[in-house]
Structure 1
């Protein structure tokens, strides 16, 4: 397996920093179109152990209530349990990890929350060949879904996967469904998308091409979702339901998300790790929704893994 050179790692870093900038610019345009003026604030930071990052956060916007688009490139002197449970052979190895991770929480309940992540991990242990892999994906968490958004989201995912093999989309779609599952609630976090980890079965260049397609695919998929929904009217009851469902998002990220656990176990920067938390969320005791209501339809239909491409048939 070809190992990445320092030049390869720099190319990945250059792509990630450019991706972060392009996503922020595109989302700021949505703020302008919605009559807002909020922009992403930039916060550059360094870690004592080595490396650092650039956090870009938009808060209290007209279209986006809170959004974080984070780049980091960190050095790790000794890998934690969250990184080595699947790779015991690199326990205690030094490593570097870089990636862009984002979560966008819109104001309007008709616009879904969205998440994306693309990353590279390289571990080195004395006496062993370096081990590397890519990971990432994107997923959509709607409150009031519509077939056009869900179908288009998955069509974008399908199409970007197609050049890499006919099995990539179904495998990474299923991986996403399995990963973003709240076991204690017995429900999906949303309608899914793509998720993958430990990607190194192709050569480095092809793997890199794939994460570029995924990162660019998120931007291609999410902007039309905003454009179709951000100006729709909504009621206070719909806003309350949005906050209730955001509670599920918080539960998932704090209980199951491997990226959150990895950041906490490596002594990461807490503000950047927890930027995925919404500014407001709610929990109600055993709420009941009317039969045939959109709120009940969300869990009865939309939060069940399905072949979403068939919605457009």
Structure 2
């Protein structure tokens, strides 16, 4: 296995900062196209233990109600055992982690919430070569989904995976379905996408090329969905349902999300860790939806793992 040099790590850092800037610029264009003027505010920060990051957050926009696109590059002097359950051999080792992570909560219930993340982790246990891996993916959480959006989202995911192997899309889609699952609700968080971790089975450059494809693929997948749904009319009842479903998003991120837990366990910056939570969300006690309603179809049909690419032929 090839090991990353300082120059390799710097290349990843430069890509991540550029990706963050491009995503924010594209989403600001969506805000402006929808009649808004909100922009991502930049918040640079440093971590006492070493490293820091650049948080970019947009709030209370016309199109985007809350969006956080976060870059971090942190140094960890001693990895806690609680953060290395899958890799006990690096507990106590110094490490560095960098990545871009984003969650976008649109205001219109017809535009899905979306999430993406690409990251690199490098640990340096004493007397051993560096242990490194990439991780990331993207997933979609609609409230009033339609087949066109879901198919296009998965088609983009499939196409970006294709150059890296015939089974990559299927494997990383399955991983996404398994990971973004609320066990206590027995439902998926959304309609999935891609998820992967511990990616180092290829050489470093190939792995890096893959996360570049994933990061760029998020923009290619989400922008047409904004365009198709951004200006659709919605009712107050649909808005209330959106807030109710956002509650599930909060539950997932606080109970299961590895990134959230890793940040909390390693003393991360709390404002950046919890930026994925929407400003508004709701919970209702045992709400009921009509059998033929769009709200009922969301949980009964869309929030089930499916072979989305073949819906058009089934």
TM-score, structure 2 normalization: 0.99
Shift of 1:310: 1.3
Which residue number in structure 1 is paired with residue 57 of structure 2? 57
- CA distance in 2: counterparts of 1:244 and 1:60, whole angstroms: 18
Structure 2 residue matching 1:218: 3-state secondary structure:
helix
Deviation at 1:83, TM superposition (A): 3.1
Decide whether the 8 Å contact of 1:82 with 1:261 is kept in 2.
Answer: no
Separation of aligned partners in 2, 1:312 and 1:226: 22
Q: How does 1:108-123 map to 2 (within 5 A)?
A: 108-123=108-123
Alignment correspondent of 1:311: 311
**Which deviates further from its counterpart, 76-85 or 108-117?**
76-85
2:186 aligns with: 186
Residue of structure 2 equivalent to 1:124: 124
Q: CA deviation at 1:311?
A: 2.6
Partner of 1:297: 297
Aligned to 2:251, what secondary structure does the other structure show? helix
The alignment partner of 2:138 has SS state of strand
Write the deviation string for residues 171-212 of structure 1: whole angstroms up to 9, x where unpaired. Answer: 000000000000000000000000000000000000000000
**Paired residues of 1:52 and 1:74 also in contact (CA < 8 A):** yes
Q: Which residue of 2 aligns with 1:234?
A: 234
Cα distance, 1:84 vs structure 2: 1.1
The match for 1:167 is 167
In the alignment, the residues of structure 2 paired with residue 57 and residue 123 of structure 1 have an alpha-carbon distance, to the nearest angstrom, of: 29
* Post-superposition offset of 1:272: 0.3
Question: Deviation string for 1:236-291 (max 9, x for gaps)?
Answer: 00000000000000000000000000000110000000000000000000000001
Q: Deviations over 1:28-50 (max 9, x none)?
A: 00001000000000000000000
Q: Deviation of residue 135 (structure 1)?
A: 0.0
CA distance in 2, matches of 1:69, 1:294: 30
Question: Contact 2:81 / 2:92 at 8 angstroms: preserved in 1?
Answer: no
TM-score under structure 1 normalisation? Answer: 0.99
Aligned Cα root-mean-square deviation (Å): 0.6
Extract unaligned runs of 5+ from structure 1. Answer: none
Q: Does the 8 A contact of 1:80 with 1:262 survive in 2? A: no
SS at structure 2 position matched to 1:163: helix
The worse-fitting range, judged by mean Cα deviation, of 183-192 and 78-87 is: 78-87
Shift of 1:82: 4.3
